[in-house]
Structure 1
Amino acid sequence: MHLSTILTAGRKAITGCALALGLLTASASIPVAHAAEALRIGYSDWPGWVAWQVAIEKGWLKEAGVDAKFEWFDYSASMDAFSAGKLDAVTCTNGDALVMGGNGAKNVMIMLTDYSNGNDMIVGKPGVKALADLKGKKVGLEVGLVEHLLLINGLTKLGLKETDVTLVNAKTNETPQVLASGDVSAIGAWQPVAGQAMKGAAGAKPLYTSADEPGLIYDVVTVSPASLSGRRAEWIKFVGVWNKVVAYIQDPKTQPDAVTIMAAKVGIDAPTFTRFLKGTKLLTLAEGAKVMKDADGFGSLYGSSRYADAFNVKYEVYKTAQDVKSYIDPALTDGK
C-alpha cells in the first residue's frame, strides 16, 4: 500500500510512542459499570466534543433519563484515564480508539460527533508561505498525532519525504510557545491551540489543513465493552440526545447561545469559537449512520480505521493488525 494512502487515517490517528508507552503501562482493566453510578465520560477541547456542553447545561441528558458525568481533560490525559479504567467512555478519534485497544484498553465506537474540516493544520511562521518552503526546516509537533500524519501526507503530495524536514517533538498545547520562539519554521496543532499559535506569532498562517483532506478525520464517542454491554439502554438514550445538540448549534436563532456556552468552556471569546466551529463538520445521527456503513475509503469509518490500523502496525504503535469491525457498533445510531 502506498504510504500516502496509509497515512490518511484518523485525526490523532496514532498517538506516538510516548502515549503508546503510557497506555502499555496503564491498567488494561475495563471499567465495570454499576447501575447506581453515573456514566463517566471524558471529553476535551475539540469543538465537536465541547458541543456536549450544550446538552450538559441545558439538562437534556437528564430529560432523556441519562445519568451522565462528563469529566474535562487535556486530550491525551482523557485517553490515559479511559485506559486506566477510570471512565466508561471517552471522546477521541477513530485512530486513537484503535491505539488504546491495541495497547490493552478495548473499546467500541458507538457514534460519530464530527469530522475535521480545517481545524487541524500545519501553521507556518511569518514569512513561510507554502508547505514546500519547509524543506530543510524544523517543524514542531507532537510526533504520532494527526498533525504528524497531515504533514507527511502533504509533503508526499509535493514529492517530498519526512526526512526533508526535521521534526521537533512538542506537546500540542505547547506549540504556540514553540512557534513564537522562532526556533521552528512551522508547527502542527488543532483548534483552538492552532489559533493561539497564530495569535502569538503575528503573520503566521495555515499552510495545510484537514480541509485539504476531506473525510480524513473522524471524531467519536467510544465506550468500554463492559459498560456498553451492561448499560446499553442508557447508551442508546445518550446517543439519542445528539441530534438535539446539533440542531441547537446549527439553528441561526439558537447558535449564539450555543457558541456562548461552548466558548466559555474552553476559555475563548465567542467570535473566535465561531470560526473554530466552522472548521468542524458536526454530523447528525443520520449522517453518522451513513459513514458507519462498512466500506473502504475515507467516506467510511471502517475504511478510515483500516488505514489507521495499517499505519499503526507499520510504525509499531502496536504489533498486530486488529479487527476493525469489533471496534464499531453502528446500531445505536438507529436506537438499537
Structure 2
Amino acid sequence: MKKLMSYLTMMCLLVLLLTGCGGSGGGAAENSSDSNSADDAIKIGVSAFPGWYTWYAVQGFGAFEDNDVNVELVWFNTYSDSLQAFNSGQIDGVCAALSDTISPAVSGVDFKVVMINDNSAGADGIVSQGDITSLEGLKGKTVATEIGTIEHFFLLNALETVGMTEDDIELTNMTVENAGPAVISGQVDAASLWEPSLSYAASEGDTNLLFDSSETPGLIPDTLMISGDILDNRSEDVQKIVTAYFEGMQTYNEKPAEALEFMAEQAGISTDEMAVAMEGARLFSIADNYAAFHEEAEDYTYLPYTAERTAAFLLDQGMVSDELSDPESIFDSTYIDALYEENPDMVVPDTQAE
C-alpha cells in the first residue's frame, strides 16, 4: 500500500467525518422507525466502509426511484451507533458485517439478512508503528479498535493465526475513524482498521501493514439486515430495494467513474482515493449471493457455516452471551432467489486490484 498515492488530505477529511461531513444524519437516527405505511421511507443505516458506500451509487443512479421504492439512507459516523439504532428499532435496515448479526440474533432481535454486499478482501487490516514488523510483535503493546464490532472480531482472528489472544495485548477502545490518526501519531502502537482509514494509516508516517483480510478470505461478509416488521409488512418493497441495489451495481459496472463520484462525495475523499479503498472489497453478484445462501460447504463460502463458526468464536471470546442455536434462521434468501431466477448473470464491478 505504501506505493499508492499520498493520503495527506485524509486527516482533515476524517476529522470532518466525525462532525457529520457529507452525511444525512449524525451519530444516530433521530426518529423511531414505524414504516408499515407504503408512503413512509424505509430507513437504512450506512457507515464508512467501501462496500457500503455503493448504496450511494445506487441512490445517485436513481435506482430506488426506478423501482418505485422510498428509501432513506441514514448516515452514521460511528458504525456501532448504526447497530444500536437498528437493534432498538430506530431504523428499518442496516449495513452490517455478518459477525455483528450474531449478538442481536442471540438476543432475540427480529430481523433477517437478505443479501451480501461484499466480502472484505483487504479492506480490513492491522497497522502498527514502524518498529513492529509482525503480529507477534504486538505482544504487550497497545492496540486500538472499536470493541464489540467487526474490527474487534477481525483482530482476535488475526491474533489467533499466530497463537495469540486478546490477553497478549493491551486493548484500547477507539472508533475506527480515531484509531487511524492515533497509530500514525504514536498514541497507540497498532490499530485494527477498515477502509478508508486503513489505507490512510498504512500510507502516512512510519507504519507497517501487518495483516489484512485478504489473508482470511470469506471471514467478513458485509450484509444488509432488514427488520422483521418491514419483512412482514412491506416485503414487496424489500424486493424492490434488493433489485435496485443490483441494478445500481450494473450501472456502476458500466459507469465506474460516475459511481465513484457518488461514493467519494459521501465519504469526503477523492475519487482516486475511493477507487483504492474499493480494491479491498470483492463485490457480490446475484449469483455470488445465491451460492453463499444455498451451496452447502464446510468453509466460509457458505453463509450458515460462516455464521456458525463466527458465533462459536464470539461465544468463546465472551463477546456474546449464548449459543446461536440455528445459524440458518438469520437468513432469508427469498429476495435473492427471485432475482436469480430472473437474471443470474447480472454483473457487478470487479474492484480487485490486479
Which TM-score applies when normalising by structure 2? 0.80
Structural RMSD (CA): 2.0
Counterpart for residue 276 of structure 2: 275
Counterpart for residue 323 of structure 2: 321
How many percent of aligned residue pairs carry the same amino acid? 28
Counterpart for residue 79 of structure 1: 83
Q: Deviations over 1:253-302 (max 9, x none)?
A: x1111111101110011111101111001111111110112543211111
Alignment partners' CA distance in 1, 2:261 and 2:35: 35
SS of equivalent to 1:292: helix
AA in 2 matched with 1:320: D
Following TM superposition, by how much is the alpha carbon of 1:148 offset from its aligned partner in structure 2, in angstroms?
2.9
AA in 1 matched with 2:289: G
Counterpart for residue 148 of structure 2: 144
Is contact 1:107-1:223 (8 Å) kept? Answer: yes
Is contact 1:107-1:222 (8 Å) kept? Answer: yes
Counterpart for residue 193 of structure 1: 197
SS of equivalent to 1:329: coil
Which TM-score applies when normalising by structure 1? 0.84
Q: Deviations over 1:194-250 (max 9, x none)?
A: 233335x41313110000101110011111112112111111121112222222333
Is contact 2:99-2:153 (8 Å) kept? Answer: no
Following TM superposition, by how much is the alpha carbon of 1:328 offset from its aligned partner in structure 2, in angstroms?
0.2
Is 77-86 or 109-118 further displaced after alignment? 77-86
Alignment partners' CA distance in 1, 2:100 and 2:160: 23
2:213 matches 1:210: yes
Question: Map of 1:1-336 to 2, 5 A cutoff?
Answer: 33-74=36-77, 75-199=79-203, 201-251=204-254, 254-293=255-294, 294-322=296-324, 323-335=326-338
Following TM superposition, by how much is the alpha carbon of 1:57 offset from its aligned partner in structure 2, in angstroms?
1.5
Alignment partners' CA distance in 1, 2:40 and 2:167: 50
Alignment partners' CA distance in 1, 2:163 and 2:323: 29
AA in 1 matched with 2:313: F
Is contact 1:122-1:147 (8 Å) kept? Answer: no
Is contact 2:112-2:330 (8 Å) kept? Answer: yes
From the superposition, tell whether residues 127 and 248 of structure 1 become closer, same or farther in structure 2 (CA, over 3 Å). farther
SS of equivalent to 2:116: strand
AA in 2 matched with 1:81: A
Alignment partners' CA distance in 1, 2:90 and 2:157: 35
Please list every run of 5 or more consecutive structure 1 residues that lacks an aligned counterpart in the other structure: 1-28
Q: Deviations over 1:182-203 (max 9, x none)?
A: 142211111112233335x413
Following TM superposition, by how much is the alpha carbon of 1:129 offset from its aligned partner in structure 2, in angstroms?
2.2
SS of equivalent to 2:43: strand
AA in 2 matched with 1:277: M
Is contact 2:64-2:244 (8 Å) kept? Answer: yes
Following TM superposition, by how much is the alpha carbon of 1:168 offset from its aligned partner in structure 2, in angstroms?
2.0
SS of equivalent to 2:202: helix
AA in 1 matched with 2:334: A
Please list every run of 5 or more consecutive structure 2 residues that lacks an aligned counterpart in the other structure: 1-31, 340-354
Alignment partners' CA distance in 1, 2:330 and 2:194: 25
SS of equivalent to 1:220: strand
